[in-house]
């Protein structure tokens, strides 16, 4: 085969590669930009109490869509899901920009979450199906540039657009790029289904898993007396699904993709490592503003540091996987994440320079970039082509669940500490919505201590993730053979 055919951006794969990169960038931008414009949305539409749902509903519906898309990809083909996801992105983004009320905006953000989940599942499956195995790691690394770059670009671009135009323009940005993806890839996505038989869709399984996920997130976020019954209900539904999946070969989440090695170790490593790192990054602006008294603009700028490290790591991780193998890169990423988090706790508890914390968050971003890129590449390598949709969707679902639970749990810990030391969390909620401008000394101290304990929690989660990374490496017994095959 000509060398040009082996290049990600060569004549054979160039248009498809750019389509996947742009589609992933739209998905990342859609997720990362919304938090920066919540205060402006509240000022324009009112109903400030509903603003958290504008953020929460997106990852929730995205997780459900990821699960639902897997079986559809296996049975109908990746082209159908990819096309529907891009059409939905354009429609939902336009709908968000035109939303007349917060309730309408929440509904359109739910649709955006569905499109994001379908896009996530279809783009990863597309990489495994459209590219030859030898360049799949490079294709995954190329796709990962999007999340790292958008971690830097999206919040700042949203802030600039909101300052000079309107928050509605922030949502409209996705429309032309979604149309561009359709133009690039409409006829280049493989149409053939990986399974040649029709299977009934597992509606009951999807409802059970989706409801259990919602209850779990509510339980870890509240951390009050309601958490226990919520956790019990989530566990009961999860157990019901486990029994259900054992008797159905078409279950929406196959047991072997989440509970059998090596998939179980990979999913746990990704969920714990990714969730622990991004849980502390999510509340860094709150700490900088409420704990250190910085301005709103300075606090909003803090989200670029982890994204910078992520982008740099994604750029070089393909070469590292070629040389050392995916599992060694995953272990290295877990070591970086696990080693950085206790240092972060120390910096916060001691009130060290914010620039030291920013540097640490950049290093933490390196670990996230290693983990996500190498983990996605490994899923492609160990999955059967006939189940690549389900395998990718299950892994992505567990990773998103880890992110959602980690962020909710870290926020719950932070608010618990603030309530215990300060007596109320109302001022913190005002900070989150952009309404509070003056921070008292008592609140600043409580926010700082709470954020420090969020780092402690993340450190423990990261350490468990590292153990699973080691188990993954030993299970696959990789050595020089993996380094040569990628």
CA dist list (Å): 479 to 264, 328, 417, 485: 20, 9, 46, 10
Report the alpha-carbon distance of residue 354 to residue 159 in Å, rounded.
22
Check pLDDT > 50 for residue 330: yes
**What separation, in Å, do the N-terminal and C-terminal C-alpha atoms of the chain show?**
19
Provide the pLDDT for residue 433. Answer: 52
Tell me the torsion sign for CA atoms 167, 284, 268, 22: positive
Report the alpha-carbon distance of residue 474 to residue 266 in Å, rounded.
12
Residue-wise pLDDT tens digits, 81-111 = 888 988 999 999 999 999 888 889 989 998 9
CATH: 2.160.10.10, 1.10.230.10, 3.30.390.10, 1.20.1250.20. Which one for 12-193? 1.20.1250.20
Q: What share of the chain is helix, strand, coil (3-state, %, to 5)?
A: 85, 0, 15
Residue-wise pLDDT tens digits, 217-245 = 777 656 567 777 888 888 898 899 888 88
Which one is predicted more confidently, 7 or 183? 183
Share of the chain above pLDDT 70, in %: 87
What would be the CATH architecture of the domain defined by 254-486?
Up-down Bundle (1.20)
Topology agreement, domain 12-193 and domain 254-486: yes
Torsion of CA 454, 40, 86, 141, to 10 degrees: -40
pTM: 0.78
Check pLDDT > 60 for residue 123: yes
DSSP string, 51-76: HHHHHHHHHHHHHHHHHHHHHHHHHH
Domain ranges in the chain?
12-193, 202-251, 254-486
Report the alpha-carbon distance of residue 40 to residue 451 in Å, rounded.
26
Residue 353 CB neighbours (<10 A): 9
Check pLDDT > 50 for residue 16: yes
Give the model's confidence band at 431: pLDDT under 50 very low, under 70 low, under 90 confident, else very high. Answer: low
List, in sequence order, every beta strand (DSSP E) within 439-486.
none
Report the alpha-carbon distance of residue 268 to residue 335 in Å, rounded.
15
CA dist list (Å): 392 to 59, 123, 142, 162, 208: 17, 10, 17, 36, 20
């Amino acid at each position: 085969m000509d060398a040009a055919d082996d290049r990600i951006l060569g004549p054979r794969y160039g248009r498809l590669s750019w389509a996947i990169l742009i589609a992933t960038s739209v998905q990342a931008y859609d997720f990362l930009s919304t938090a920066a414009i919540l205060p402006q949305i509240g000022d324009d539409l009112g109903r400030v109490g509903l603003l958290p749902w504008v953020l929460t509903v997106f990852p929730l519906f995205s997780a459900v869509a990821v699960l639902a898309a897997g079986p559809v990809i296996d049975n109908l083909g990746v082209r159908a899901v990819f096309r529907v996801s891009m059409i939905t992105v354009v429609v939902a983004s336009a709908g968000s920009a035109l939303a007349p009320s917060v309730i309408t905006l929440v509904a359109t953000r739910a649709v955006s979450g569905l499109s994001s989940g379908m896009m996530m599942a279809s783009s990863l499956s597309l990489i495994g199906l459209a590219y030859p195995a030898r360049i799949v790691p490079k294709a995954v690394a190329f796709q990962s540039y999007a999340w790292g770059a958008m971690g830097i670009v999206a919040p700042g671009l949203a802030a600039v657009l909101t300052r000079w135009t309107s928050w509605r323009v922030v949502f409209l940005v996705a429309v032309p790029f979604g149309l561009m993806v359709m133009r690039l890839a409409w006829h280049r996505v493989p149409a053939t289904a990986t399974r040649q038989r029709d299977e009934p869709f597992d509606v009951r399984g999807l409802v059970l898993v989706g409801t259990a996920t919602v209850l779990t997130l509510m339980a870890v976020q509240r951390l009050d007396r309601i958490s226990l019954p919520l956790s019990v209900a989530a566990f009961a539904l999860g157990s019901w699904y486990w029994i259900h999946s054992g008797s159905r070969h078409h279950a929406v989440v196959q047991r072997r993709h989440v509970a059998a090695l090596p998939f179980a170790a990979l999913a746990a490593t990704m969920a714990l490592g990714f969730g622990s790192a991004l849980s502390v990054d999510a509340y860094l602006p709150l700490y900088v503003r409420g704990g250190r008294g910085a301005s709103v603009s300075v606090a909003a700028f803090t989200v670029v540091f982890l994204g910078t490290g992520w982008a740099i790591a994604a750029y070089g991780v393909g070469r590292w996987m070629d040389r050392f193998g995916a599992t060694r890169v995953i272990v290295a990423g877990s070591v970086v994440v696990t080693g950085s988090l206790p240092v972060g706790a120390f910096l916060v508890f001691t009130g060290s320079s914010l620039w030291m914390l920013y540097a640490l968050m950049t290093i933490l971003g390196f670990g996230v970039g290693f983990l996500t890129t190498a983990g996605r590449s490994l899923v492609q390598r160990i999955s059967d082509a006939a189940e690549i949709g389900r395998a990718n969707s299950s892994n992505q679902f567990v990773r998103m669940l880890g992110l959602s639970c980690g962020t909710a749990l870290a926020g719950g810990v932070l608010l618990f500490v603030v309530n215990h030391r300060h007596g109320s969390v109302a001022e913190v909620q005002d900070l989150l919505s952009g309404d509070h401008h003056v921070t008292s000394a008592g609140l600043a101290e409580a926010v700082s201590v709470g954020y420090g304990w969020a780092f402690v929690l993340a450190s423990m989660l990261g350490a468990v993730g590292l153990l699973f990374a080691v188990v993954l490496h030993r299970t696959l017994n990789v050595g020089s053979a993996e380094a040569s095959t990628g």
